[in-house]
Structure 1
């Protein structure tokens, strides 16, 4: 039995498709299939339900998959411990983030790379539910998400910053020059909002509800790129948290203004609760609160309003 065979199983569980799993594993599809068949022969059980396509895992296969994930996580922890023991911090860190925290996770990743020179990173844009699921399966090491309803016995949660919502518009929209807007004023504008798959959409709708207004939503999307293109035309505006906005938003004529009263929602760093977490995960966890993400995100908002009386 080889570690590579266990990696094939985990890749197949993630992609649910032989060809895509092989591509993610950097091997040919026949090589991946042969490796899994060899593992089945060694264990004397059928792991995969298959005809010409992947049909799922057998009950025995599901147990083997859980064991494979645990083994690979333990192996990664061993590698990280060895790296740190040699005073050469490094290893691999997988982070899941909700789309509304993409700017924040970019700041976090940049600081991690600066502090840990040999670090490699994977960043996945996921829903809060998917982040919790992947943390539990040990597919990712850390998550940046909403911690509401998070099981404290299963996950550790640490608030990193308070999410602040802003109105986004292009100069061509012809909005008055003012330092902030109310939710009532925003509701009158044609809006492009994240769709109901996103947790922050619930927060935005609650803000409009508290203001006793119905927003004029003309476009809904689950991607930041669509929101950007819609706002860039000047035909629609948007509402989004500052922590979702990459630099190119603010460098292309898109304006941001605070929405009053502020809707503040805590964003937390999450990890699986373990007695002995990998050394790299512990190092990243301990480093995060020292990075002052709140101050840096608030600075983005202040810069966006500079020059406005």
Structure 2
């Protein structure tokens, strides 16, 4: 059995298409198909459902896929261990981050690169549930997400970075009541742009309105923070966002904010798989992440 055959299987499950899977592996389609058939012959089972097209994995194939992912992840770890043994201050790290916490990533990367200068990082945006799934599949090594979305009985370690706090944000040209806080009822007539309803942060906002018996004036919903920021800074709409999701330009030349009360404050933090064979790189990354505490940065 060759590791390349396992890589073929992982790529085929990812793309669900022989040609695209072969292209991602840098081989021809016949070579990939032959490699999968050879793996089936060696194991004595049928791994994929096929005719001329890929129709998915068999039940046995799903079990082989899980084993293949663990094996390939372990090999990547072995390579990074070898690199560290040669005193190479680098390595690769894949991080998944939920949209409301995307602006936390530069602070995390700043600390990581101070310790591992040649670190290569791939950052992708996912929901908290997707991050948990991708950590299990060894596609991600680190997640930045709501910690109450981490399965309590799962093989995960967590570290809290801050408790999320929601604020109403608006351009200075839009009048807001005096004071540092606002009730949900104070927001009812203010035109709003909000994150999409499938996002946990938005669901907390909806729960606040519902509990207060308030029907908000929502003019725009989107999963793109950049669009919300543009509307805010242009003074067209206000928004309710976590402090961590506010644009950088607040203060004298930008926005004013009011903390919205009462509102749930879930913990946001970093997550990794708890496994005995973590690489030296991931161990160092986890040590650094555990020194971070961002409550003083992301509270209003």
What TM bracket, shorter-length normalisation? 0.7 to 0.9
Task: Label 1:9 to 1:207 Cα distance change in 2 as closer, same or farther (>3 A).
Answer: same
Deviation at 1:4, TM superposition (A): 3.9
Structure 2 CA distance, aligned partners of 1:170 and 1:11? 47
Structure 1 CA distance, aligned partners of 2:251 and 2:72? 42
Q: Aligned with 1:159: secondary structure? A: strand
Which range moved further: 4-13 or 270-279?
Answer: 4-13
Match of 2:205 in 1: 204
Deviations 1:267-286 (A, max 9, x none): 12111222332222221111
Match of 1:189 in 2: 190
Task: Label 1:67 to 1:36 Cα distance change in 2 as closer, same or farther (>3 A).
Answer: farther
Structure 1 CA distance, aligned partners of 2:20 and 2:167? 39
Deviation at 1:202, TM superposition (A): 1.9
Deviation at 1:241, TM superposition (A): 0.8
Structure 1 CA distance, aligned partners of 2:22 and 2:122? 18
Which range moved further: 116-125 or 143-152?
Answer: 143-152
Q: Aligned with 2:164: secondary structure? A: strand
Match of 1:244 in 2: 245
Q: Aligned with 1:175: secondary structure? A: coil
Structure 1 CA distance, aligned partners of 2:247 and 2:12? 32
Question: Alpha carbon RMSD of aligned pairs, Å?
Answer: 2.8
Task: Label 1:42 to 1:206 Cα distance change in 2 as closer, same or farther (>3 A).
Answer: closer
Deviations 1:87-126 (A, max 9, x none): 3332211111111110112321232123212211111211
User: 1:167 touches 1:239 (CA, 8 Å); kept in 2?
Assistant: yes
Matches within 5 A, 1:108-257: 108-148=108-148, 150-154=150-154, 155-172=156-173, 174-176=174-176, 178=178, 180-182=180-182, 183-247=184-248, 250=250, 254-257=254-257
Deviation at 1:240, TM superposition (A): 0.9
The answer on 1:265 being equivalent to 2:262 is: no
Q: Aligned with 1:37: secondary structure? A: helix
Higher helix share: 1
The answer on 1:37 being equivalent to 2:37 is: no
Structure 2 CA distance, aligned partners of 1:87 and 1:224? 40
TM-score by length of 2: 0.85
Structure 2 alignment gaps of length 5 or more: none
Deviations 1:179-222 (A, max 9, x none): 53413323321111112211111221223344442222222222
Structure 1 alignment gaps of length 5 or more: 302-309
Task: Label 1:295 to 1:15 Cα distance change in 2 as closer, same or farther (>3 A).
Answer: farther
Structure 2 CA distance, aligned partners of 1:193 and 1:225? 12
> Alignment length, in residue pairs?
294
Which range moved further: 216-225 or 203-212?
Answer: 203-212
